[in-house]
Amino acid sequence: MIHGHGGDIYSLARELGRSPGNILDFSSNVSPLPLPEGLRELLISHLDEICCLPEVDSLGLREALAGRYGLSSEQFLVGAGTTEWIYGLPSILKPDKVVVPLPTYSDYADAAKSASCRIETLGPWPHAEPSANAEILESLSQAAKGRSLVYICNPNNPTGRFISTKELQQLISLRREATWVVDESYAPFVAPDLESSLISEEFPPNLVVLRSFSKIYRVPGLRLGYAVCASDLIEVLASGARPWAVSRLAQIAGEYLVDQIDYEQGVRDYCKKEKPRLLSNLAEFSLLKPMDGVTHFMLFQVLAPWTADYVTKNLRKNGILVRDCANFVGIEGECIRISLRSGSENDSLINSLKELESLTPSS
In which element (H, E) is residue 114 found?
A: helix 107-114
Q: What is the pLDDT of residue 240?
A: 82
Q: What is the pLDDT of residue 59?
A: 95
How far apart are the C-alpha atoms of 255 and 76, rounded to whole Å?
13
* Strand order, beta sheet including 323-324: 288-290, 297-302, 335-339, 323-324
Domain 39-259: state its class. alpha beta
Closest to 5 in 3D by CA, of 185, 242, 273: 185
Q: What is the pLDDT of residue 1?
A: 35
pLDDT digits (tens, 9 = 90+) for 331-360: 989 999 999 999 999 999 999 999 998 887
- Residue 302 near residue 288, CB atoms below 8 Å: yes
- Residue 89 near residue 240, CB atoms below 8 Å: no
Count of residues making up the chain: 363
pLDDT digits (tens, 9 = 90+) for 37-82: 999 999 999 999 999 999 999 999 999 999 999 999 999 999 999 9
DSSP string, 198-236: --SSS--TTEEEEEESTTTTT-GGG--EEEEE-HHHHHH
How far apart are the C-alpha atoms of 98 and 56, rounded to whole Å?
31
Q: Structure pTM?
A: 0.95
Per-residue pLDDT, averaged over 125-150, amounts to 95
Domain 9-30+262-357: state its class. alpha beta
Q: What is the pLDDT of residue 4?
A: 52
The mean pLDDT of the chain is: 94
**Quick one: pLDDT band at residue 5, thresholds 50, 70, 90?**
low
Quote the radius of gyration of the chain (alpha carbons, Å): 20
Q: What are the domain boundaries of the chain?
A: 9-30+262-357, 39-259
Per-residue pLDDT, averaged over 145-166, amounts to 97
Closest to 328 in 3D by CA, of 190, 123, 80, 143: 123
Q: What is the pLDDT of residue 239?
A: 85
- Residue 111 near residue 105, CB atoms below 8 Å: no
